[in-house]
Chains A and B, each alone.
Chain A
Amino acid sequence: MRHSIKLLLAGTAFGVVTGTVASAETLRLLTWGSYAPEEVIKQFEAEYPDIDVEVTFSNNEEMIAKLRATGGSGYDLAQPSHDRIYAAQLEYNIYKPLDLSQIDTSVMQANLLEGVKANTTIEGEVYAVPHQWGTSGVMTNMAEAPDVTGWNDLCDPAYKGRTSMRLRRTILLGTAFGMGMNPFELYSDLDAYQDMLDQVTAKLIECKSNIKTYWTGGDDLQSLMLSGEVVVSETWDSTAFRLYSENPEIVFVPPETGALAWIDTFAIPRGGEADDAAYKWINFVMRPEIITMMSGSTGAIAAVPNGIELLPDDKRDAVQAAFDQEDLDNLKFFANIPPGLEDMEGIALERIKAASE
């Protein structure tokens, strides 16, 4: 008996020792669905055989909630949008400053890099660099709704029961722009912002009978549009570009008030344990040949000067069908969200959801 226990212990110890020797470093990514395509991971692991990549798919809100719950540990690299870092870092301290000398920032498009740095610098330390950008706007099925120009068309009775939107902050901002206001300018004045939110809430409640349903994820939206049940919807441009390759009638329309532009970034969680691997991943996915694969999967545009040229052919066609230079000049980049703002928006969204038609 005692003998066998000894054997067992020895075996376990052996297993532990060999386990640590054999096990590679693990890079735990916390990112968006489709932001870590299988082939990119395979090539990365082939180049760095001592690194294993583990991926968790998430979204902005859940990324922050997860990192907050663990105090910033459990992941080695996260990809929140540029406007969601500053307040989250101040309030929950979930990221650590980047060592910019480890990142090849020379390949990144200068204005996006400077924009993200400006948005995420706290006490002189930079917390994020850009990865990919895209916009939110409206997508339409040209066969059924050719005259769509902006946010207000979602509430046009001509498309009653055939429109959709995601009940999150983007639609609040878009609707405000559609009503002739500029929410980003009101960020600094919370009373004025509340006033704007009240007007937007009233409009969206009135609009509710026009909506078929609120979509909750890209897949959901895709089946609504492809089946033809919905003909006009608020969307991420990347989702619209993916649909364009399946049905060229479905196009992205940058609203005339300006498409809302987001930049997804790289940020390192405070409890990250594989910083080197994280920096390697960042530099790896910014290489031109990897960018084409990545953009093919995400539909978003890499934050490099020739990001649009590096898109796969079908996506580039979709982008060129959607945007002209004027639209690109008119992009409205999401501004940093001040603390407390999301709580106000949360109540507005709940009011809309709970309202009966």
Chain B
Amino acid sequence: MRSDAGKLSLILLMAPFALWILLLIVLPQLGIGYVSLREKVGPGQFTFGFGNYMDFLGEPIYWNTLLRTAWMSILVTILALLVGFPVAYYIAKIARQRSRAALFLLCLIPLWVSDLVRAFGWIVLLRETGLVSGALQWAGLISGPVELLYNDVTVVIGLVYTVVLFMIVPLVSTLDGMDDALLEAGYNLGGSRFTVFRRIIVPYAMPGIVAGCIITFMLTAGSYLTPILLGGKNSSWFTEQIYNQFITRYNWEAGATFGVLLLGFTSLVIWLGLKLTGQSLATTVAKD
């Protein structure tokens, strides 16, 4: 009797989650996969095959953009790790208990503003007639206005700013669980700061590092607004190609193909990353 009730409550508790996954993640993905295999032969007429995937391989613009997106996303992930690690370490290990919550909150605040508004914030700062250009001229560092928007560096900076929080959160929670005694033991045994960092802190934080990298990489590769708005005329981002196929060219089949390819490719990159670092999903993201 009791076990029946337990089973029932488990099912009830799981039901919203299962429905969520099934209806909003699995079914749409299956739909996208189905559409991507449709080949258009005339108005409203379709056959099935891998033609859309062949078209992708045959057009260098498409796979170049995908590779560019992946490469820049990896760069953003690495930069976010470099920026986020010291911040996370400070919050988890150095800051006093009382200021921790406040620091954490400070990291969260940018998330309360939408992506779009934050991108426009960057535009106001960096445009040719913007604040930064004006301030530099006022200080006499440059003689004429300077355009800081519409290049890859700006896109990378904007993306790092957008995703760095998702690096900090898992790092803080991992580092928080590290016993200070481990560090003291390391120093007592004659380890230098670097040795302690390399052989104790990094291995301990590895699950957090991998989890943070996976989240930031996926978010970056799938982002749309920041690269489009900050990149201007030279921003080729793969999500923009997907938008173009669906909206500008009415070509849902190619758009769906690109969607499947983006998911497949980013998953492959993550799988490679896990292999290279000797981690697995079970020991990182799913770690309790």
Contact = CB atoms under 8 A, between A and B. Distances in A.
Contacts of A61: 247-248, 250
A351 B233 contact: no
Nearest to A214: B233
A342 B249 contact: yes
B91 to A, nearest CB: 38
B61 interface: yes
A12 to B, nearest CB: 23
Nearest to A352: B233
A122 B246 CA distance: 26
Interface of A: 61-62, 64-65, 68, 90-91, 161, 168, 208, 211-214, 216, 227-229, 339, 342-343, 346-347, 349-351, 353-354, 356-357
Ordered nearest first, which 6 A-B pairs have the shortest CB separation?
A: A346-B249, A213-B232, A227-B129, A91-B43, A354-B61, A229-B128
A120 B90 CA distance: 66
Contacts of A350: 61, 241, 244
Interface in B228-242: 228, 232-234, 236, 241
Interface string B243-267: 0111111110000000000000000
B65 A64 contact: no
27 contacts: A61-B248, A62-B247, A64-B250, A65-B247, A65-B250, A68-B250, A91-B44, A91-B250, A168-B248, A208-B233, A212-B147, A213-B149, A213-B150, A213-B232, A214-B233, A216-B228, A227-B128, A227-B129, A229-B127, A229-B128, A229-B147, A339-B43, A346-B244, A346-B245, A349-B244, A353-B233, A353-B236
Given A213-B232, A350-B241, A353-B236, A343 B249 contact: yes
A90 B246 CA distance: 18
B64 interface: yes
A228 B129 contact: yes
Interface string B122-133: 000001110000
A212 B248 contact: no
Interface string B217-229: 0000000000010
- Which secondary structure characterizes the binding site on chain A? helix
Contacts of B129: 227-229
A156 to B, nearest CB: 17
B202 to A, nearest CB: 38
Given A342-B249, A354-B236, A357-B234, 10 more contacts: A65-B247, A91-B250, A212-B150, A212-B233, A227-B128, A339-B43, A342-B248, A346-B251, A350-B244, A354-B65
Interface in B34-63: 43-44, 59, 61
Contacts of A356: 234
A343 B61 contact: no
Of B232, B233, B246, most A-chain CB atoms within 10 Å: B233
B251 A343 contact: yes
A163 B144 CA distance: 18
Of A228, A343, A349, A357, most B-chain CB atoms within 10 Å: A343
B187 to A, nearest CB: 51
Nearest to A351: B61
Of B59, B64, B234, most A-chain CB atoms within 10 Å: B234
A351 B127 CA distance: 26
Interface in B91-134: 127-129
A342 B127 CA distance: 33
B233 A211 contact: yes
A117 B59 CA distance: 39
Contacts of B234: 356-357
A68 B251 CA distance: 11
Given A339-B43, A350-B241, A65 B246 contact: yes
Contact of A342 (B43, B228, B250): B250
A239 to B, nearest CB: 19
Contacts of A161: 147
Nearest to B127: A229
A168 B244 CA distance: 11
A208 B234 CA distance: 9
A346 B248 contact: yes
A354 B128 CA distance: 23
A22 B63 CA distance: 56
Contacts of B246: 65
B147 to A, nearest CB: 7
Contacts of B236: 353-354
B231 to A, nearest CB: 9
A346 B62 CA distance: 13
B249 to A, nearest CB: 4
A61 B251 CA distance: 12
A233 to B, nearest CB: 13
B76 to A, nearest CB: 20
Contacts of A346: 244-245, 248-249, 251
B232 A349 contact: no
A61 B250 CA distance: 8
Contacts of A91: 43-44, 250
